[in-house]
């Protein structure tokens, strides 16, 4: 699932927030 955030595909508001926290950005 992390790959989805990294690739920037199918990013939702929730996914974007979670992705940023996981990536530390």
Handedness of CA 8, 13, 14, 19 (dihedral sign): positive
Q: How many domains would you assign to the chain?
A: 1
Which pLDDT does position 2 carry in this prediction? 55
Domain coverage including residue 14? 1-25
* pLDDT tens digits, 1-25: 555 555 555 556 666 677 677 766 5
Residues 6+ apart with CB under 8 A from 2: 19, 22, 23
């Amino acid at each position: 699932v992390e790959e989805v955030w990294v690739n920037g595909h199918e990013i939702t508001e929730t996914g974007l927030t979670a992705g940023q926290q996981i990536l530390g950005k």
